[in-house]
Amino acid sequence: MKILLCIGCLTTGCSIPETKVYVCDSKNAIRYHYKATCRGLSNCRHAIISLSLKEARNRGKTLCKWED
pLDDT digits (tens, 9 = 90+) for 35-46: 999 999 999 999
Q: What is the 3-state secondary structure (H, E, C) of the chain?
A: CHHHHHHHHHHHCCCCCCCEEEEECCCCCCEEECCCCCHHHCCCCCCEEEEEHHHHHHCCCEECHHHC
> What is the domain count for the chain?
1
pLDDT at 32: 97
- The pLDDT of residue 5 is above 60: no
Does 2 fall in a domain? no
Q: Is 35 a member of any domain?
A: yes
Of the two residues 18 and 12, the one the predictor is more confident about is: 18
How far is 25 from 33, CA to CA, in rounded Å? 12
Inside any domain, residue 8: no
Average pLDDT, the chain: 85
13 against 54, higher pLDDT: 54
Name the residue range of residue 56's domain. Answer: 17-67
